[in-house]
Structure 1
């Protein structure tokens, strides 16, 4: 298909609104290119193609499932510098949150730097990503690799993206629960094209900008074709320092309950809280209680936390009291300027090489031997901030005489069973995590005419491999132990006791005000703070074969079918660094090896039958059905099916609907991920200060029932245990999917233009869903539950344990089969085109409404509906208007996220609650202009034209970035200019 036909294909998609419920990103370019050409004449030029959601070749798009098409032209006009950005936009995702480069400080499936897509808010593991109709294998780092990484996609060669928002397991197999994303590359491309794009944030001094360069080339002969591209994408780091809304995170509590910093008289920046880019206790020491001088803002005369102050010459000389008793934790120092060096948007460099080709054999049924190859290298990193809690043993010569009185606690792992004399809470500074992921994909196939008339066959094999090397900087426990066990060196200093057996050992610094303040000897830091490296490898082999063609004829037309077989085998091998495996990373999670494999045989088919055509009150009635038999090594066999119907009573009205079943076999990491023990801050304990005003009364009753004091404050980290579910009998999840749609294309009087409207209702219900609940959600839901349930140890409380002596919490957050996930809603689309003056005007409106987003963990739990809550907006929408004439095109677009409110869910009264749990409507405006010259095109524009900052909420409930919710629907970059230049040779 020529480049021209690709443009005409987009026009046909727009015209065939019976199959397209969302064409917001595709329709403008299509109409602009073909303003003077009739739809019917265009459609005649389009070859038979296979549209996502079906394997049957068609010459039209009257399919029963709603499909959205995103063209490269519209993505460029919106300022997207990569396919990743376009796919994660509100227009495609319906406003549901996605894993982006803003999650650098969080543990996510696929590791740091990964970007994934999940439709209908059901996560990336329930959305299948295809490249030219074939699966894109997972890529990433660490043991939880399980979804396609959008970073591997070849942006330069992409022609269009088809998004099916409908379950399609019977057509594509496992993972196609919430929908399918199919990326189609340019076919039969000829010529040479250079493209360059720069996105420049204007509010962050250039930080967070991105640059992409690409070169695309193609040629063809009588029997062969070949095309390919090479591109490089570079996104700069955006730090917390670079944006105003992240420079001073505050609690944001209502009712005047923020801690007021006595040094500034304002709400404290970066306090010690439970969510967001938190502060940390630094520049202080912990001792046993002693009488001393109170710091500014502290109360009482007896303290167990102290801050260096050389002016104090009584009590604990050289230190002022900042903690203990009734003192607020935020009396302590919690902010270090280096915290602002943390990544808000993590930097990444991506190099992609893609090639495809074909050769006509003139044999085996006019067969074509074809192939694809994809190489992708991603280098990403994230900057974090670390506190170092360094324990000095009781009696250690490293403790000065004025602190020798203290016995802080029993040994916590650094002092070889000696009591801790003093703990130093040191602001260590920044650390870096890095990932380098190499992804390769090879496809070879043969397609041609089958021996039956008008039948075609396609046989292919593919192999994909993701290899990741990941590194994080860690304090090594064994080295800290060595360096803290010291003796005199005879020259007024100290040396390691183990120096004779380990000549490289560097003694820890003696406890002093400068050490507590974060000034640490470089040679000691270099010895104890080391890179820990791990590797992840994921491979997938796929063999598939299919035939399609006419089965027999009915009065209304031919019944066509597709029948196929497929074999897939996947393997994962994640080997964390030895120090991670052995628990030698101080105050950090441990990780075991993740290793496992799974394979599946499948047989499937699809039949489409025209039941009526050009009959009274039935211009068209077409039935589509598909089925699949699956046999997994991991959980056995299953069958799925899907039935769809398209009905056109008259030319301009189409009713469509589908009903089907889907399944998802547990991903390899969900089955085999090695048991991981992590530790969360003691501030995550929901019973901390549980008698404070405004606390949920259920939480007060439940914490009291555990025998905790009214002023309880945890000093123990929360242990979180995660493990794969294979040994626990993890099963495949099953689901049902229903869509019902109405499409109207009323004929308008001549000169009035073209109007199309579509509305689709969708309903997905997942049974036995495989997921982790999240330790924070588990704790909140347990301690805020009805006291009767709490005492009975049911629901979320089944996953929580509290030590009866130390009161330390343990949370089990492993992969389990959740009882139910339900998503319901409607998609609305309006499109209007009209010739105006010398050109064509086009208006698009697309709105997604969620009427239910609910789940429950156990069968006997009630369904909880999250619709309309923070990060789960009830409505999202996009709209744009464009005008194209001669060589020009201008576009103005708006993205909308309806305001959200979580007060009711958490049983909080907004009039009395301390929490800010509501945000208003959020609007993003974008504008661009494009000029096409002879062999070149220049596009310029601005995203977030009005420089809209994300809304703010208070801490304590949701994860935040600065004061804003951690939600991909909000723009963290601010007003951003973009420029794209495309030159053909």
Structure 2
């Protein structure tokens, strides 16, 4: 469909000229095809839209289609473009069992096996906030992938301060006719963000009648059920057309307890299991089995519970818990309630303490709260979407059409997670029983309660807490398009998008907790010294409290709902003119010129508790507020050099250029050239070279100071051994005031990490270069059907990339530098001069990184008659040659491809057999095996041998059958036919979900049954 002018639509023989370009379920390539006469529309699913093109004899016709993606010129033949374009149709997404646009776009076919942010990231901090679904092409990140709706940008949506990418949840599934993907840079056509590729969502056009559809996906586990119910209503008059859709999508939670691989997370190491208390899959001494939910390293989700921290006590004077070696002669400072325990601390047994070689493993302690099994593996959501589009022919202004689109969306989502509750009973507090009142404090004053030393610390299970979001998204546009003299066209429009989100979490407030712990005796109990705000005194320290049993009135006093609000706005005004210039031997030169203005703003206002750092052991955030604007001029031309000559069946060249000027950083020019050459009809050579850019997202410029905490073990002065081991670091630690330069120093305070935006430091745009080269072969097989093969090489290089220096990199660069505080990077590090010598590290966005990705796309399609029906086979395979991101020039360049979660090969295969009204489909998704070597992990091979960090080749199978009546369609099928589970890996280096990698390429839901029913009422 030419969305920048009407002439192409008026000139086509039917609406089918803008319909489905390929029959492949995932990524049928836009191959060069022969022209056919008068293609006829086939409305396969009775929805009033063309699902395939058919010739008069019933054969498939895929030429003559007009593709928007990758060009703004009218009548562009999508099968003769310099860049490969992938297309997926509505009918085939239904047969594959997808139940939302996010599922389609995040599937292996579109993402080439690269990780995506989906509904399994509820417990992680992600850009766009919890519940968001984004798309990253070529593994280069969602901010480098541009999402379009009918050729126009989908503005970012989400919650919290880091909103910068389109949320796939806002897309109007009921109105989608097809999806087109250009895997390559296109900033000279579309502007910022089109570095890794462009995804264009095409809606139904000229729809007439009433269409009803419902789909239900039900995992065999009985959880994570998703349902989608929609209606589309349209009418076409003599001078106007109007269509509207309403839909409701609901997904229930799929929890850790609903999957086998998340019910008992272990260290999962092949050697050293139970050999000693510090290595292997730790064996729980009380059960004799590998311990569920261990804690202490990356990928382990356990947390210490049922535990108190005390001053050091001699191990020879207290009861020793199960797992503590008999005769243990070091100190103990971690104890678990045990009514039968005697010794110097009756009612409590030692489960930890000591330092260095005599330290006890944390896994002796209780680390598996049952609340972990309530965590959402796939989080629930309810999504409401409405879409309206209309056009009215003015019969004036060049036979102009006035058109409009309105998209309205609401997402109500939530994520249930668990956490630890540490309660610091003040030294000398009457809440501490006599037997636990020690002559010295357990810890000195902490940041959460300045000036008050800790007598006893309780490590308890908080239980579950919930994040919840309501995200409202509205986009409206109005435009005018028509004809000009000399067969030119014009299109101009204005648009505005609103995204508003309220996000709430029930959290412990530091000031309320401290107020409740500051008590005086009152009758037989205690009362708050400060009775304001209806203060409820904290409970006395008892084994019940250590076990996570709290008085409800006190818990409700210290835990409060904390709500923030995010607003994102984007305004656009654009105009475009296009038409022919003069004739070349191959046809008329087509030229397009245009201009665009965009203004965007972000305003994230966290709760006042978050802004003031009053969230107990939880990340705080500052205000994120800012705006930016841009004006652009651009042009595009297509030159058909030769046509229908011997050894020059087709030779054409395309070119485009854009000048951009951002208010924030100034001007930028991008360009792209490409061409296609067909020496004969059956062979096409194509390629392109261009530059692209990405303007810094608003959150990258204006992110308010966001605080978080990292483990004290990352303190570069922690546990330094000998002066000869690292003399520079020891000298620098001494210069920072740490006694003995850190020798014998054990850091006890978490590292506070502050993040901020980069506008003040002159953050600028990323730039990129990309090129492609490909071959398309379409031999004439006669009675053996139609065969199309293509191979395309692609290469993307991003320079001046926007990135954050990791807190660990900053600390290492600072403390290992002989000049130490003379270096500017040390200005990002602040250390307190008195015990506990807490570190604060500030990091922001800067233009420092380099990223590269390259590889091959292979596509094949074969269609032939078999018996009374037709057989279709589609195969789409991607091979990555390399992909890396280098933050600093001094960083080692390590190719990520082939490592865990970065498969070298990925493929999708689909076979269809259609006979009469029935269409049978069988599909396979494939991810090649992955591994992590010692060099990549930065460890010795001996250490590497104690971990399982490989994933074998991974296959997911689907099968479905579809029956199509005159006004009715019914599809049933199964996804993950063989109930394939994700591979298990060891903890230590990668985030995991249970025992599996955190990676959207693996199916967590298991075997899932689906059914889709639709009907058309004319």
Normalized against structure 1, the TM-score is what?
0.93
How many equivalent pairs are there? 964
Q: 2:637 aligns with which of 599, 603, 607?
A: 607
Cα contact 2:578–2:592 (8 A) shared by 1 = yes
Aligned 1:731-810 pairs, distance under 5 A: 731-748=764-781, 750-772=782-804, 778=809, 806=836, 808=838, 810=840
- 1:323 corresponds to 2:345: no
Match of 1:209 in 2: 225
Q: 1:372 aligns with which of 386, 398, 405?
A: 405
Q: Give per-residue Cα distances to partners, 1:70-112, cap 9 Å, x unaligned.
A: 1111111111001110000000111111100000000000001
Tell me how far apart the structure 2 counterparts of residues 31 and 484 of structure 1 sit (CA, whole Å). Answer: 69
Q: Against the structure 1 CA distance between its residues 192 and 907, is the aligned structure 2 distance closer, same or farther, given a 3 Å change threshold?
A: same
Cα contact 1:11–1:42 (8 A) shared by 2 = no
- 1:258 corresponds to 2:290: no
Cα contact 1:399–1:510 (8 A) shared by 2 = yes
Cα contact 1:384–1:432 (8 A) shared by 2 = yes
Shift, 1:437, TM fit: 0.3
Q: 1:440 aligns with which of 474, 477, 481?
A: 474
Cα contact 2:73–2:590 (8 A) shared by 1 = no
Match of 2:585 in 1: 555
Point out the more displaced range, 710-719 or 649-658: 710-719
Q: Against the structure 1 CA distance between its residues 766 and 797, is the aligned structure 2 distance closer, same or farther, given a 3 Å change threshold?
A: farther
Q: Give per-residue Cα distances to partners, 1:526-573, cap 9 Å, x unaligned.
A: 111001100000000000000000011112210011100000000100
Match of 2:342 in 1: 313
Tell me how far apart the structure 1 counterparts of residues 50 and 629 of structure 2 sit (CA, whole Å). Answer: 45
Q: Give per-residue Cα distances to partners, 1:122-142, cap 9 Å, x unaligned.
A: 000000000000000000000
Q: Give per-residue Cα distances to partners, 1:395-443, cap 9 Å, x unaligned.
A: 1110000011151111214555122111111111000010000000001
Aligned 1:405-554 pairs, distance under 5 A: 405=438, 406-413=440-447, 415=449, 417-450=451-484, 452-489=485-522, 491-499=523-531, 502=532, 504-554=534-584
- 1:222 corresponds to 2:238: yes
Cα contact 1:347–1:381 (8 A) shared by 2 = yes
Q: Against the structure 1 CA distance between its residues 932 and 770, is the aligned structure 2 distance closer, same or farther, given a 3 Å change threshold?
A: same
Match of 1:91 in 2: 109
Cα contact 1:443–1:462 (8 A) shared by 2 = yes
Shift, 1:681, TM fit: 4.0
Q: Against the structure 1 CA distance between its residues 275 and 163, is the aligned structure 2 distance closer, same or farther, given a 3 Å change threshold?
A: same
- 1:856 corresponds to 2:889: no
Q: 2:211 aligns with which of 193, 198, 213?
A: 193
Match of 1:23 in 2: none
Shift, 1:184, TM fit: 0.3
Tell me how far apart the structure 2 counterparts of residues 42 and 640 of structure 1 sit (CA, whole Å). Answer: 36
SS of 2:759 mapped into structure 1:
coil
Cα contact 2:732–2:815 (8 A) shared by 1 = no
Tell me how far apart the structure 2 counterparts of residues 918 and 898 of structure 1 sit (CA, whole Å). Answer: 11
Tell me how far apart the structure 2 counterparts of residues 917 and 53 of structure 1 sit (CA, whole Å). Answer: 43
SS of 1:844 mapped into structure 2:
strand
Match of 1:140 in 2: 158
Tell me how far apart the structure 2 counterparts of residues 839 and 385 of structure 1 sit (CA, whole Å). Answer: 55
Match of 1:917 in 2: 949
Q: Against the structure 1 CA distance between its residues 274 and 713, is the aligned structure 2 distance closer, same or farther, given a 3 Å change threshold?
A: farther
Tell me how far apart the structure 1 counterparts of residues 193 and 33 of structure 2 sit (CA, whole Å). Answer: 23
Tell me how far apart the structure 1 counterparts of residues 402 and 420 of structure 2 sit (CA, whole Å). Answer: 58
Cα contact 1:11–1:39 (8 A) shared by 2 = no
Q: 1:82 aligns with which of 78, 96, 100?
A: 100
Match of 1:593 in 2: 623
Match of 1:293 in 2: 319
Cα RMSD, aligned residues only = 3.0
SS of 1:265 mapped into structure 2:
coil
Q: Give per-residue Cα distances to partners, 1:706-753, cap 9 Å, x unaligned.
A: 7898998653223222110111121111110111111111112x2111
- 1:65 corresponds to 2:83: yes
Cα contact 1:240–1:341 (8 A) shared by 2 = yes
Cα contact 1:251–1:273 (8 A) shared by 2 = no
Q: 1:352 aligns with which of 362, 380, 385?
A: 385
Match of 1:834 in 2: 864
Match of 1:899 in 2: 929
Shift, 1:665, TM fit: 0.7
Shift, 1:209, TM fit: 1.3
Tell me how far apart the structure 1 counterparts of residues 796 and 822 of structure 2 sit (CA, whole Å). Answer: 31
Tell me how far apart the structure 2 counterparts of residues 14 and 433 of structure 1 sit (CA, whole Å). Answer: 39
Aligned 1:674-753 pairs, distance under 5 A: 674-682=704-712, 714-748=747-781, 750-753=782-785
Point out the more displaced range, 11-20 or 502-511: 11-20
Match of 2:4 in 1: none
Q: Against the structure 1 CA distance between its residues 735 and 786, is the aligned structure 2 distance closer, same or farther, given a 3 Å change threshold?
A: farther
Q: Give per-residue Cα distances to partners, 1:788-838, cap 9 Å, x unaligned.
A: 999999999997777786465545442121331111111111111111011
SS of 1:479 mapped into structure 2:
helix
Q: Against the structure 1 CA distance between its residues 594 and 133, is the aligned structure 2 distance closer, same or farther, given a 3 Å change threshold?
A: same
Tell me how far apart the structure 2 counterparts of residues 359 and 414 of structure 1 sit (CA, whole Å). Answer: 63
Point out the more displaced range, 325-334 or 354-363: 325-334
Q: Against the structure 1 CA distance between its residues 789 and 336, is the aligned structure 2 distance closer, same or farther, given a 3 Å change threshold?
A: farther
Match of 2:850 in 1: 820
Shift, 1:761, TM fit: 0.5
Cα contact 1:534–1:576 (8 A) shared by 2 = yes
| Stretches of structure 1 lacking an aligned partner (at least 5 in a row) | 21-25, 692-696
Match of 1:968 in 2: 1000
Match of 1:568 in 2: 598
- 1:246 corresponds to 2:269: no
Q: Give per-residue Cα distances to partners, 1:203-233, cap 9 Å, x unaligned.
A: x2x1111010001111110000000110000
Cα contact 1:789–1:795 (8 A) shared by 2 = no
Match of 1:641 in 2: 671
Cα contact 1:564–1:604 (8 A) shared by 2 = yes
Q: 1:232 aligns with which of 242, 248, 255?
A: 248
Cα contact 2:65–2:78 (8 A) shared by 1 = no
Tell me how far apart the structure 2 counterparts of residues 848 and 318 of structure 1 sit (CA, whole Å). Answer: 62
Cα contact 2:29–2:84 (8 A) shared by 1 = no
Shift, 1:9, TM fit: 4.6
Cα contact 2:390–2:405 (8 A) shared by 1 = yes
Shift, 1:771, TM fit: 2.3
Point out the more displaced range, 9-18 or 284-293: 9-18
Cα contact 1:782–1:796 (8 A) shared by 2 = no
Tell me how far apart the structure 2 counterparts of residues 714 and 184 of structure 1 sit (CA, whole Å). Answer: 56
Cα contact 2:16–2:50 (8 A) shared by 1 = no
Tell me how far apart the structure 2 counterparts of residues 286 and 158 of structure 1 sit (CA, whole Å). Answer: 58
Q: Against the structure 1 CA distance between its residues 110 and 191, is the aligned structure 2 distance closer, same or farther, given a 3 Å change threshold?
A: same
Q: Against the structure 1 CA distance between its residues 796 and 239, is the aligned structure 2 distance closer, same or farther, given a 3 Å change threshold?
A: farther
Q: Against the structure 1 CA distance between its residues 395 and 76, is the aligned structure 2 distance closer, same or farther, given a 3 Å change threshold?
A: same
SS of 1:103 mapped into structure 2:
coil
Q: Against the structure 1 CA distance between its residues 563 and 486, is the aligned structure 2 distance closer, same or farther, given a 3 Å change threshold?
A: same
- 1:303 corresponds to 2:303: no
Tell me how far apart the structure 1 counterparts of residues 195 and 571 of structure 2 sit (CA, whole Å). Answer: 22
Q: 2:916 aligns with which of 886, 901, 905?
A: 886
Shift, 1:54, TM fit: 4.2
Q: Against the structure 1 CA distance between its residues 97 and 902, is the aligned structure 2 distance closer, same or farther, given a 3 Å change threshold?
A: same
Q: 2:32 aligns with which of 13, 18, 23?
A: 18
Cα contact 2:44–2:964 (8 A) shared by 1 = no
Tell me how far apart the structure 2 counterparts of residues 687 and 850 of structure 1 sit (CA, whole Å). Answer: 40
